[in-house]
Copies of this chain bind each other. A is one copy, B any other.
Amino acid sequence: MVNYPNKRNTYHKAAASQSRRGMSLEEDINTSNEFYLKEDSAVIHKKPTPVTIVKVDYPKRSAAKITEAYFKLPSTTDYNGIYKGRYLDFEAKECVSLTAFPFSSIHEHQIRHLESVLRHGAVAFLILRMTSYEQDYLIKAEDFLNFYKTAKRKSLPYSWIQENGHPIPFRYQKPCDYLRVVDEVFGL
């Protein structure tokens, strides 16, 4: 369990840990999205990592090779798409802390993006994996933003997450089956 540095045995859930071992939240969401696409229930994709490309080699008879590029700060969330005719938008984060999710993990741009899409009628949320507890939560963007804008602290306490977050079930084919939770939470 090298990925879970804060892992405590008291919070160990045997079933979940056996299935999820070594899989990142991103991999689990991508697997779920592929399944949603295959069963034709939604079209949701992760956006590519934004990079600034500086140098490209074009060797003869083989593929163009990027030889100098840099990571860029994302200006939007990582995932969006369409589900039941609605525009859906979310950001996914893993949190190793036992006590709180630090706001520094979300860029200011992404906060503004969530506010914008909400104003335009999006189904918007965060998916937060509390790795130490091996539990994924869906948090409505509205709830998160209300707390974010009024909080004196710079993190989301675990107690708040437990109270306001919606646990996301783990399933074999959809290891992060967030659309089931979207149905309930947003009444779709």
Contacts and interface: CB of A to CB of B under 8 A. Distances in A.
Contact of A80 (B40, B53, B80): B80
A82 interface: yes
A149 interface: no
Contact of A83 (B37, B47, B120): B120
10 contacts: A37-B116, A40-B119, A42-B120, A43-B120, A51-B53, A65-B70, A66-B71, A82-B87, A82-B120, A86-B87
A56 B116 CA distance: 33
A75 interface: yes
B71 A64 contact: yes
Interface residues of A, number: 40
A49 B69 CA distance: 12
Number of copies: 2
B116 A43 contact: yes
Interface string A61-93: 001111111111001100011111111110000
Nearest to A43: B116
A63 B52 CA distance: 12
B70 A68 contact: no
Nearest to A83: B120
A117 interface: yes
Contact of A117 (B43, B76, B122): B43
A9 B83 CA distance: 47
Most buried by B among A37, A68, A75, A87: A87
